[in-house]
Amino acid sequence: MFDAVVRRIAAGGYIDEVAADSLAPLRPAPPAAVVEAEELAGRPLPSLLRRLYLEVGNGGFGPGYGLLGLRDGHRTGGTDALAGLKGGYLTLCDWGCGISSELNLADGQIWGYDPNPAPDGVSCTFPQHMTIVDWFSKWVEGTLYQPWLVQDPTTGEWRGATDAEYAEMIEEAFGPDGLAG
């Protein structure tokens, strides 16, 4: 997966929500920044993520507004990846509108956070049912979507959207060919 991510970055447009001509050059994280993150988390970062930070960039590439960096790395909205580490979650990226993707370092699962549709008393955080390898695989393939909290039409429960719900939403918004208009 590491090589596939590097190829996607090399192809340009390596942050989904930023114009290619405004992208900053990528600079790997210093080893001390990775050690600091692992010490704060009390466990090692997943090997793919660790390697991407050390060999590719201290954030600044990937989905949304880019993978958040570690100390002195890529930030969005004044936040870096370390913001949630006290709770065992590494914030991966900001998608805008308060939406983010997070990695639970205890079990390796990706969680979504979408505060927009949830009524009072409903958790805005939900499992995305994927690992960091799955997350980057979907990004490379162009099939990773921002976390989206939806209310199940059958049960009334709040949960993360399924891939089929994303596909339906995209078709409704852009038509079957994916083009707006």
Q: What is the pLDDT of residues 120-162, one digit of tens each?
A: 899 999 999 999 999 999 999 999 999 999 999 999 999 999 9
Name 40's Cβ contacts closer than 8 Å, sequence gap at least 6. Answer: 82, 85, 86
Residue 49 in domain: yes
Instruction: Tokens for 179, please give them.
Output: 């083009």
Among 76, 37, 64, smallest CA distance to 53 is for 37
Residue 51 in domain: yes
Query: In CATH, what number is assigned to the domain containing residue 111?
Result: 3.40.1580
User: What percent of the chain has pLDDT above 90?
Assistant: 71
Q: Could you give the number of structural domains in the chain?
A: 1
Residue 65 in domain: yes
Angle in degrees, 0-180, between the axes of helices 31-41 and 47-55, rounded to the nearest 10: 150
Is 54 within 8 Å of 31 (Cβ atoms)?
yes
Burial pattern 91-111, b for ≥16 Cβ within 10 A else e, equals: bbbbbeeebbbbbbbeeebbb
Residue 180 in domain: no
Is 67 within 8 Å of 59 (Cβ atoms)?
yes
Residue 181 in domain: no
Residue 119 in domain: yes
CB atoms within 10 A of CB 18: 16
Residue 31 in domain: yes
Residue 117 in domain: yes
pLDDT at 95: 94
Residue 87 sits in which domain range? Answer: 2-174
pTM higher than the cut 0.85: yes
